[in-house]
Amino acid sequence: MDFIDLKSQYAALRDNINARIQKLLDHGQYILGPEVREMEEALVAYTGARHCISVASGTEALLICLMALDLQPGDEIITSPFTFAATAEMIVLAGGVPVFVDIEPDTANIDANLIEAAITPRTKAIMPVSLYGQVADMDAINAIAQKHGIAVIEDAAQSFGASYKGRKSCNLSTFGCTSFFPSKPLGCYGDGGAIFTSDDRLAQACREIRIHGQSQRYLHTRLGVGGRMDTLQCAVVLGKLDRFEWEIKRRLELGDAYRARLSAAIPGLQPLAVRDDRDCVWAQYTVFVDERDAVQARLKAAGVPTAVHYPRPLHHQPAYAQYARPEDCPHSIAAAERVMSLPMSADLSDEQLNRVVTALTAALG
């Protein structure tokens, strides 16, 4: 069993993806070719955001929107320490200071109730992470941001396709940034990402920053990066969009099936909470377990792959320790000790899910 089954997905979409790649090889516009715009338009239609700017990766998406906000040295960005390193890494690279706010212990998303106390005159933006595919409490976060005149950047690398109060992830705040890394809910066959915004001025800034700050060819009006997404990778995303709605439906169904089987009071195991007004597209199907190392070893012996997202909160990583005290964000510290991700992808069969649940129940018992 694969942790994420991309081979079955390719088998199902093979003709479509191959035809799209062949078409690209025939027209030969490898950089900013027609598929780039076609994908951006398809994703605008999907999310409802006014603009989509495809970029080289999810990491690059975060960097480019921070640059578009014109961060000054010492500007603060509020975020969660319980995330992939890129979230805080790009804040520092853009000249900012990450301010870590703890998570809710049951959803592992930033606790909106703790954000206001972290705001200072230097706060430039709030960057919630839609961890595991579930959006944080965006209405509350947007209300705080509006009150203080600051931006909100959703790190939606794990949540493309998720819904929050009837709206799509990536279209919930000033910016939404997603990733097309192969294992994400909508993946390409290499690196790729996208920025979403409905602000025309910020969209234009992101488009310029993506190509070395050019407002016209060889007129560099601002500092930028080489941040384009390959036409080839856009063709792959387009090939995968045909089945994407089905995949999201299937992910939600598998998440419900896991939950129904695992919430039956298995000692030492706690499923992730999903709030009633949103869904979770399960970039990872993550649970909290006691004695994780032993459980993982038993599952491995039973042929069930697992992973840990993430084993250390960022303020316990050497590169980011200076931004908080070690004892800060206790729920993030506790989650890092207990989270474990189980096999998940739209092509996971009911029978495979049963095998995972049976093996996990035995491993805990």
Ligand X SMILES: *Cc1c(COP(=O)(O)O)cnc(C)c1O
Answer whether 169's CB lies under 8 Å from 130's CB: yes
To ligand X, the closest distance from the beta carbon of 129 in angstroms equals 5
To ligand X, the closest distance from the beta carbon of 237 in angstroms equals 12
Nearer to ligand X, 158 or 171 (CB): 158
Work out which of 58, 227, 239, 343 binds ligand X, going by CB under 6 A. 58
Long-range own/partner contacts, residues 199-205 (CB < 8 A, 24 or more apart): 199/50, 199/51, 199/174, 200/50, 200/51, 202/65, 202/68, 202/69, 202/174, 202/175, 203/50, 203/51, 203/53, 205/67, 205/68
Interface stretch with ligand X, choices 150-158, 262-270, 343-351, 352-360 (CB under 6 A):
150-158
Catalytic residue among 124, 168, 184, 240: 184
Sort strands 219-220 and 214-216 into parallel, antiparallel or unpaired. antiparallel
Nearer to ligand X, 84 or 288 (CB): 84
Residue nearest to ligand X (CB): 58
Binding residue count for ligand X, defined by CB under 6 A:
15
| 229 closest CA partner among 72, 37, 364, 68 | 37
To ligand X, the closest distance from the beta carbon of 159 in angstroms equals 9
Rounded Cα–Cα distance for residues 80 and 103 (Å): 7
Nearer to ligand X, 288 or 310 (CB): 310
Nearer to ligand X, 12 or 92 (CB): 92
Answer whether 128's CB lies under 8 Å from 100's CB: no
Nearer to ligand X, 86 or 360 (CB): 86
Site string for ligand X, 167-206 (x = CB under 6 A): ------------x-x---------x-x-------------
**Interaction between residue 227 and ligand X (CB under 6 A):** no
Answer whether 284's CB lies under 8 Å from 158's CB: yes
Answer whether 18's CB lies under 8 Å from 11's CB: no
Answer whether 74's CB lies under 8 Å from 99's CB: no
300 as an active site residue: the answer is no
Count of CA atoms in the C-beta half-sphere (13 A) of 109: 28
Site string for ligand X, 68-107 (x = CB under 6 A): ---------------xx-xx--------------------
Nearer to ligand X, 123 or 179 (CB): 179
Rounded Cα–Cα distance for residues 161 and 123 (Å): 29
Rounded Cα–Cα distance for residues 128 and 117 (Å): 15
Residue ranges in contact with ligand X by CB under 6 A = 57-59, 83-84, 86-87, 129, 155, 157-158, 179, 181, 191, 193
Question: Which residues are the active-site residues?
Answer: 184
